[in-house]
Amino acid sequence: MTWTVRDVAHALLRAQGLTTIFGNPGSNELPFLTGLPADFRYILGLHEAVVVAMADGYAQASGRPAFVNVHAASGTGNAMGALTNAAYSRTPLVLTAGQQVRTVIGLEAMLANVDAAALARPLAGFSAEPACAADVPRTLAQAIFEAQHGRRGPAYVSVPYDDWAAPAPEDADALLGRRVTSCRAPDATALDGLVARVRDADRIGLVLGSDLDGSVHPDILMGLAEFLGADVWAAPSLWRLPFPNRHRLFRGVLPAGIASIADALAGRDLVLVVGAPVFRYHQHEPGRYLPDGVEVIQITDDSSAAARAPFGDAIIADPAATLAGLAAALGVPDELADDPARWTPSTEPRRGTGAVLTPGEVFATLREALPADTAYVVESTSTNADWWAQVDLRHPRSYYFPASGGLGFGMPAAVGVALAERDRATQPGAARRVVAVIGDGSANYSLGALWSAAQLGLGVTFVILRNGTYGALRWFAGLLGAEDAPGMDVPGIDFVALAGGYGVCGVHAGSAEQLAELLAPAPDRPLLIEVDTSLTRPDGRPLQEDR
């Protein structure tokens, strides 16, 4: 049998466990998709931004790379916003895009991507178009390995569509058994130095990053924090939660400003930043990076993050292995004793009036009505303070947020997370609950994800917080002296009606009691719940105070 390039590509994807394809096909992609093996499944999204965000959620929740197929330059362009989130969360995505036939690319024929590899950079750590058909399988294999072990994150390959039917190289099957493994254990000297500095410190702080969620169990992190008596923060600009937010040592998510972080870390002599950059700032607050007397050691497997940090020392190694070595050297107990005093209760939420709930009331209802291990995908940036004041997240993979702040992530990512959780479930109907908490401004970026959820029959719940405005923008308008800027209100959107158009049951909850009743049964189909909420700022104060 003579294999084509397409045959080898399909066999390679199977060998690497990439038999789920997220896509929105165009004409250039059909030659790759024809003859798709029976054990593959194709997850259709109605827009490339939805496709990439679904794959992002699926890869994060499953802990495995995800494969994406988009349409030439236009499809890649549509995907770029979602790709920013995947780049900053370092999600291992392998994207392929169809290209025009080789003989007309230089003529700039319709659907030709003239400089395909450049289009996906710098968001894709690896981006290439093979120089010839014979090199397509090897380039695809490189993209798969680069996504997992190189810069880690999205990798991109543009393939002229006439390449797929070309004969494969004679020895192309040598790719199928290849494996690449990362083993970046901490250097013994570096680990000894870390242990010595921790032992010499009197007041230690831990800043834990999103990279740890799913790779280091919370019990290990809690044991280390309690042994050291260390205050614990989540790293700023958080997209996953590595540490239970109701633990008595948890001090919240670090604010994403230079001066605010310096104020928060004051009084510590050593701060370990683990699995996070130093630091991902947001709002500009000029000031000194650190107060006097505070030393920082960063532990990360992201060499780029270590290299660009403006202060502190760095150890480039696997954070899980480094923490295990540190804990063993310090004598941290292997098992965590049960201690009810470990947990702090949620605060009483501010109450709304009538049918308009406060975000805090909504989040308190979610906490009380849903299972403790519910996975939340959150895209409501103006309700951060209320969210962290109310939720109780103690399980890995319980929190997902757009890593670059790019809106449109939440709804399709929730579809991807729910698909991964259903794949993981050992029995039908036993999948973990997945709930998307989405602001009404954010929801409009990717409503098409509802259709994919309906077609897949996923029991994911979408809770839409409807306040008729871009709340975070109104807060920033006050900070920047731009209160008269236009375009900050989005009134009059009926999400219940929109859900029905996509084949999803939509209902309006007019009270906390109605919301709790709707949440109580585990749905076997997607459900959208629209809730009218009061205006708030990210710090939890009512937005009306600024008006």
Residue range 168-217, pLDDT digits in tens: 988 888 889 888 888 788 989 999 999 999 999 999 999 999 999 999 99
CA dist., res. 443 & res. 409, Å (int): 9
Q: Is the pLDDT of residue 320 over 50?
A: yes
How many of the other CB atoms lie within 10 Å of CB of 457? Answer: 10
Catalytic site residue 26? yes
Locate all alpha helices (DSSP H) within 286-338, ordered by sequence.
303-308, 319-330
How high is the pLDDT of residue 206?
98
From 27, 170, 182, 293, active-site residue:
27
User: What is the second-level CATH architecture of the domain 5-175?
Assistant: 3-Layer(aba) Sandwich (3.40)
* 103, burial (CB in 10 Å: exposed 0-12, middle 13-18, buried 19+): exposed
* 248, burial (CB in 10 Å: exposed 0-12, middle 13-18, buried 19+): middle
From 26, 45, 57, 441, active-site residue:
26
Catalytic site residue 405? yes
How high is the pLDDT of residue 285?
86
Residues whose CB is less than 8 angstroms from the CB of residue 408 and which lie 6 or more positions away in sequence, other chains included:
49, 50, 53, 81, 82, 402, 442, 445, 446
Residue range 399-419, pLDDT digits in tens: 999 999 889 999 999 999 999
How high is the pLDDT of residue 545?
43
The DSSP code sequence of 135-178 is: GHHHHHHHHHHHHHHSS-S-EEEEEEGGGTTSBPPTTGGGGTT-
Closest CA to 129 of 97, 87, 152: 97
CA dist., res. 453 & res. 421, Å (int): 13
Catalytic site residue 508? no
Closest CA to 435 of 521, 386, 370, 494: 370
From 10, 23, 29, 209, active-site residue:
29
The residues that bridge with 376 in the sheet, in sequence order, are 399, 435
Q: Is the pLDDT of residue 471 over 60?
A: no
From 405, 468, 478, 510, active-site residue:
405
Residue range 79-133, pLDDT digits in tens: 999 999 999 999 999 999 999 999 888 889 888 888 999 999 999 999 999 999 9
Residue range 431-457, pLDDT digits in tens: 999 999 999 989 999 999 999 999 999
Q: Is the CATH code 1.10.510.10 the one for domain 188-341? A: no
From 10, 47, 71, 247, active-site residue:
71
Catalytic site residue 48? yes
Buried b (16+ CB within 10 A) or exposed e, 485-498: eeebebeebebbeb
How high is the pLDDT of residue 91?
97
The reply to whether 188-341 and 359-546 are identical in fold is yes
How high is the pLDDT of residue 382?
82
Catalytic site residue 282? yes
Question: What's the pTM?
Answer: 0.94
Going from N- to C-terminal start, the domains of the chain cover 5-175, 188-341, 359-546
From 10, 23, 45, 48, active-site residue:
48
How many of the other CB atoms lie within 10 Å of CB of 370? Answer: 18
Catalytic site residue 346? no
Q: Is the CATH code 3.40.50.970 the one for domain 359-546? A: yes
Average pLDDT rounded to a whole number, residues 214-226: 95
Average pLDDT rounded to a whole number, residues 266-271: 96
Q: Is the pLDDT of residue 19 over 80?
A: yes
CA dist., res. 330 & res. 333, Å (int): 9
Structure-token pair, residue 147: 């996504």
CA dist., res. 68 & res. 51, Å (int): 7
CA dist., res. 250 & res. 38, Å (int): 48
Average pLDDT rounded to a whole number, residues 152-161: 95
How high is the pLDDT of residue 542?
65
Catalytic site residue 404? no
